Amino acid sequence: MNARLRNRFIKLPLSSTPRWIIILIDLTLCALALAIAYFVRFDVYSDEMTIEREWKLLKGVLPIIFSVKLVVFFLFKIHKGLVRHTSLEDVRRIFFAVLTSSFFIMAAGWIRHFYWDGRFLLPTSVLLVDFLASLMLLIGFRFTVKIYHYELNKPTKKEVKNILIYGAGVSGLITKRTIEKDFQMPTKVVGFIDDNKKLSGNRLEGVDIYHTAKIKQLINKLEVDELILAIQHPKKKNTSRIVDICLHYDVNVQRVPSFKKWINGEFSSKQIRKVNIDDLLGRDPIDLDIAKIKNEINDKVILVTGAAGSIGSGIVRQVVAYNPRKVIILDQAESDLYDFQNELIGNEQNESVELVIGDVRNYHRMYRLFEKFKPEMVFHAAAYKHVPLMEENPSEAISTNVLGTKHLVDLSHEFNVVKFVMISTDKAVNPTNVMGASKRIAEIYAQAKNKLSETQFVTTRFGNVLGSNGSVIPLFKRQIDRGGPITVTHEEVTRFFMTIPEACQLVLEAGAMGNGGEIFVFDMGESVKIIDLAKRMIRLSGLEIGKDIQIKITGLRPGEKLYEELLANEENTKPTHHPQILIALNREAEEACISNIDELLNLFDGQNNESMVRQMKKIVPEYVSNNSIYAKLDKK
């Protein structure tokens, strides 16, 4: 019998069964239980005279007994549950319904005995056996139907998908139970794997637990079709290794969402999703100095620029958790700011938030903002960041990244802001493009101003952020969705990556520990080859490289490096109390830098790109253009 016929067969008698038929079956089973009770009372043997006498006594009280059971069963709604999906809750309801009906029958018997004719409705022994027999028959009937339904809908062996679950903890156990009770998933859990060696060799609900070191052998031995990541907070290195092995052996990889995303606290098999690249490139959770961060932010007025962007919005999400008096969300992107406002309202995080549409390049607008709100701490994330676009538009890079920063730095000094935290980039180290050089100039200005101000100017510097607007991950996803090709600029190009929450957490931590003048460098882990990233994303999409999706090498873009650095050659670092945050021991910003930067900004009127870039190279001597028309300006 094929699956379609089985489904049609099973749905007719079970899913369409009227409730009154279930009630009738329950009362019939109760009648059978009463008969069993009398058989037990007379040791399954009795003469005709005894049977006639007992029946004469019983037939007069049968309407009372079945009326009591009918009313109690109806009140407890034991007929409402879907029989084929009987659960422990249904068993509990049946138990109390049978117990209650037996209690009422016994109570009615006492009333009859003491106030009427001295007889009980049922002998005590019959009442006790009837209770036990009714309970077993009612529950047994339901579980028999459930097993019958399961067997009829059970897929054939060829249809079954062998599942290996990574994680033998609570989440793994819940995952096993969830997928096993979903009849629409033709699956079989063939094993658990776990990083804990002590669990290896044990069994969980009859399924063997193995150590993750045996993953390769298990894939072949157990004929694994799919691996489900069911660890809520897995170690990223272990997860990445296991996923790579699975992809190599064409094993599909899925993952269970975090507890927070379970619907009404319950997990459904429909929530299992494909693993994405963000799950593999991030790192283990960051330990933060919560007390220090809270002390910096609690009951303070906080300004976040570029707040509708990836990093800016991430900082806002983190900041609102520390009870600020007010958070001013500043951005010029109206639509993005509107969407972010709706998100905050949906999360009930909008009470202390003030949205401001404005451009950091507009000094008068920024002055009025500082004058009205008087921020005590500023997180400056507003910037232009796309290397090729800024290479073609140096004036815009300078206008936003340098002039915009200068406005905010000067106003922070004027309005006695306690701390100013600037978000910089690894492209500011030994810059090879206009964008990186503009960010380095912004760093220099903030450092120089720190010497002249009571405000503490702190810089944070990190690499690419996974999933941020315009980053390579969303680009690759769109290219895969279109069927390719995926474009990679060079086979050897590498980049550092971290997740948005990770980057924002480190920004808050660095901001809290900074005393002014520091450039904090984040430990970005190991760099990733972009072409390897593309290959991984193709395999995670269930596609084949070269067959379903092509990878096209397009050549380095103007100003682009093969690899990024977090520290310049002249710089060293010193550690902080946080293992993932270092302080760059960079050269001191000279006071002459401020006048050089002012001179750069005065070049706007002429709109001469070469003049502006030449001045940038004067301010940042290590800025050497790469694959750019401005390479001719470098000293040979």
Give the tens place of pLDDT for each residue, 464-515.
Answer: 776 666 677 778 888 888 887 888 888 888 877 777 877 888 888 888 888 8
Mean pLDDT of 595-619: 83
Alpha helix positions (H), 181-281: 215-221, 236-248, 278-281
Mean pLDDT of 19-32: 80
Question: Do 380 and 520 have their domain in common?
Answer: yes
Q: Which of 193-197, 228-232, 275-279: highest mean pLDDT?
A: 193-197
Query: What pLDDT was estimated at residue 8?
Result: 41
- The region of weakest confidence among 177-191, 262-276, 543-557 is 262-276
Task: Tell whether 636 is covered by a domain.
Answer: no
> Residue 217's domain is classified under what CATH number?
3.40.50.720
Query: What pLDDT was estimated at residue 268?
Result: 53
Query: What pLDDT was estimated at residue 84?
Result: 62
Question: Interior CA angle at 144 toward 138 and 148, to 5°?
Answer: 150
Give the tens place of pLDDT for each residue, 346-359.
Answer: 777 777 888 999 99
For residue 623, what are its two tokens?
């800025």
Distance CA 38, CA 125 (A): 9
Which residues, listed in sequence order, are joined to residue 339 by a DSSP beta bridge? none
pLDDT at 157 over 60: no
Question: Do 528 and 471 have their domain in common?
Answer: yes
Give the tens place of pLDDT for each residue, 240-249.
Answer: 888 888 888 8
pLDDT at 127 over 60: yes
Query: What pLDDT was estimated at residue 151?
Result: 62
Supply the mean pLDDT for the chain: 79
Which amino acid belongs to residue 475?
Answer: L
Mean pLDDT of 112-133: 75
Task: Tell whether 281 is covered by a domain.
Answer: no
Burial (0-12, 13-18, 19+ Cβ within 10 Å), 552 = exposed
3-state SS track over 383-441: CCCCHHHHHHCHHHHHHHHHHHHHHHHHHHHHCCCCEEEEEEEHHHCCCCCHHHHHHHH
Q: Domain end: 91, 125, 153, which one?
A: 153
Question: Do 493 and 355 have their domain in common?
Answer: yes
Question: Do 148 and 173 have their domain in common?
Answer: no
Question: Do 358 and 497 have their domain in common?
Answer: yes
Handedness of CA 314, 404, 633, 390 (dihedral sign): positive
Question: Do 320 and 261 have their domain in common?
Answer: no
Distance CA 592, CA 457 (A): 18
Question: Do 231 and 316 have their domain in common?
Answer: no
Query: What pLDDT was estimated at residue 23?
Result: 79
Model confidence at 636, pLDDT cuts 50, 70, 90, reads: low
Q: Tokens 């019939």 correspond to what residue? A: 28
Name the more confident of 41 and 514.
514
Question: Do 225 and 337 have their domain in common?
Answer: no
Question: Do 567 and 494 have their domain in common?
Answer: yes
Asked whether 422 and 442 are in contact (CB, 8 A), the reply is yes
pLDDT at 568 over 70: no
Q: Domain end: 100, 131, 153, which one?
A: 153
Which amino acid belongs to residue 364?
Answer: H
How many structural domains is the chain composed of? 3
Q: Could you tell me which of 382, 456, 380 has the C-alpha nearest to residue 416?
A: 456
- Catalytic annotation, residues: 427
Question: Do 166 and 121 have their domain in common?
Answer: no
Mean pLDDT of 4-30: 61
Distance CA 274, CA 254 (A): 4
Q: Which of 146-155, 351-360, 367-376: highest mean pLDDT?
A: 367-376
What letter would DSSP give residue 348? T
Question: Do 571 and 590 have their domain in common?
Answer: yes
Query: What pLDDT was estimated at residue 15?
Result: 46
Domain that residue 195 falls in: 161-275
Mean pLDDT of 309-319: 89
Give the tens place of pLDDT for each residue, 432-456.
Answer: 899 999 999 999 999 989 888 999 9
Question: Do 384 and 455 have their domain in common?
Answer: yes
Model confidence at 571, pLDDT cuts 50, 70, 90, reads: low
Prediction pTM value: 0.65
Handedness of CA 435, 436, 441, 446 (dihedral sign): positive
